[in-house]
Structure 1
């Protein structure tokens, strides 16, 4: 059903690789996200929550460096632990937030700078690869022209990079920092997932999103939602967890010949996508060229 469409969309859909380090250890946490290009001039769209990681990666590390520099002054102070707790609070350093984020655009373009536009209300962002001298993607997205075709029951597909299989990174003990390396696996395979449109998602009396019957996987955020022709209907953003109400509490079951009591609280995981009209309107506001699919294609 989607074989030719995936081959088409794959030409302009690319992964973003992330490596993160947290305050409490030297372990490296790999992650992925997705973007897709909308023209030949180096403009791509992705999720706002993805773009924010890229946009603020430098300031996050600068904040940690300031924390370390100030803490170093109290290394021989009897009240070191008290000062450490105070500075952790001052700089908002804790085990839940990363202290270092590095990112790597895979097979996008050789660029000299980035410009990032964050949508004010929706999980949408535009990334411009500035002054690039080689384009490593082919083609570009063609958006649905008539959004009245976004109907319940329509069968669509999403493409992204949910499983970070790249290994070209390490923790440098000499610098105390994480870094990319020339060794290891560089690529991460794409992964499609299909589903039908279940509901429209509204906000302020306007349709802003599309709900899908299947979840979007981690790493597929920013990936295109498309039909069997490769026409773009939206962009994968997040997954909603709908409580089904079929709860089972201390229910007795027999498994492997033994009686056991189990509890289960089932949820239905559904995908949430940014609507095609929201994407096109944001591109218009930023005067960025984009293309719509010919109805005869």
Structure 2
């Protein structure tokens, strides 16, 4: 049903690869997110919570470097442990605090400067404006649904994103005590579509802001497009909501692998939440960004 639409949407949908290091660890934690381009002028949208991670990269790194420098200064003091604890509180460093993030925009441009970011004031939406780029590596651009009255419960739609970080081109470099990208390993992660039907339209202060889908959005699909069988964009994947179903089971005896066990279960229905197309178009108009409707 969505074969042709996925091919169309894939032309302007791109992954964001991230690697993260946590305080006290040398392991590299990979992650993915999604963005898609709305015109041929280097403008793309994604989720606010994704853009914040892009925006805070330098501040996170500088804060940790300042902490490391201050820590070295007190290591030889008699009360070093107390002073280090004070520094951790000052710089807000604790176990599992993110202390380093590196991002890679895959197949967007051959080169570019750090994007200018505009945040929507209330919704999980952000605009990325890339500057100083050379050759564009994305093809085509989004075409947004013109008549949002077509968005009704029961309509089948699809999402596209990059939920599974299968890239391996990274490492921890002990010589510099930092994480880094490498020229070896797997560079790409496959896109992954998920379909579902519209279940409800969600509102905030009497205006519709979100589309609820019968299936959950996957981690890494955040920022990816929601579209119909023609490839028209209806919204953007934002979050997954967990609805308590009320079919709770407590301390019930069941057979598991031929043995009697007592179990409890509290089921939730996981549904997707997508930023509504009208919210996206209004935001782009306010920012003076060209986009297309169909």
- CA–CA separation in structure 2 for the residues paired with 1:24 and 1:111: 33
- Aligned twin of 1:128: 129
- Aligned twin of 1:188: 189
- CA–CA separation in structure 1 for the residues paired with 2:93 and 2:256: 46
Displacement, 1:112?
Answer: 2.8
- CA–CA separation in structure 2 for the residues paired with 1:226 and 1:114: 25
- CA–CA separation in structure 1 for the residues paired with 2:212 and 2:40: 30
- CA–CA separation in structure 1 for the residues paired with 2:96 and 2:264: 29
Match status 1:3 vs 2:3:
yes
Displacement, 1:30?
Answer: 0.1
Match status 1:77 vs 2:41:
no
Mark the runs of 5 or more structure 2 residues left unpaired by the alignment. Answer: none
Secondary structure at the counterpart of residue 197 of structure 1: strand
TM-score (normalised: structure 2): 0.98
Secondary structure at the counterpart of residue 284 of structure 2: helix
Secondary structure at the counterpart of residue 269 of structure 2: strand
Secondary structure at the counterpart of residue 60 of structure 2: helix
Displacement, 1:34?
Answer: 0.1
- Aligned twin of 1:100: 100
Superposed CA offset, 1:268-291 (max 9, x none):
000000000010011001100000
- Aligned twin of 1:177: 178
Describe the shift of the 1:96–1:25 C-alpha distance in structure 2 as closer, same or farther (beyond 3 A). Answer: closer
- Aligned twin of 1:247: 248
Match status 1:198 vs 2:199:
yes
- CA–CA separation in structure 1 for the residues paired with 2:257 and 2:289: 61
Displacement, 1:184?
Answer: 0.5
Superposed CA offset, 1:231-251 (max 9, x none):
000000010011111111111
- Aligned twin of 1:89: 89
TM-score (normalised: structure 1): 0.97
- Aligned twin of 1:159: 160
Q: How many residues of Structure 1 are paired with residues of Structure 2 in the alignment?
A: 293
Pairing 1:1-297 to 2, within 5 Å after superposition: 1-109=1-109, 110-293=111-294
Superposed CA offset, 1:50-80 (max 9, x none):
0000001110110011111111111111111
RMSD of Structure 2 on Structure 1 (CA): 0.8
Question: Bigger CA drift: 95-104 or 284-293?
Answer: 95-104
Moved over 4 A (4+): none
Secondary structure at the counterpart of residue 64 of structure 2: helix
- CA–CA separation in structure 1 for the residues paired with 2:257 and 2:183: 49
- CA–CA separation in structure 1 for the residues paired with 2:98 and 2:284: 31
- CA–CA separation in structure 2 for the residues paired with 1:240 and 1:205: 20
Displacement, 1:4?
Answer: 0.2
Displacement, 1:95?
Answer: 2.3
Displacement, 1:176?
Answer: 0.1
Secondary structure at the counterpart of residue 211 of structure 2: strand
CA contact (8 A) 2:15 2:162 kept: yes
CA contact (8 A) 2:237 2:274 kept: yes
Displacement, 1:111?
Answer: 1.2
Displacement, 1:185?
Answer: 0.5
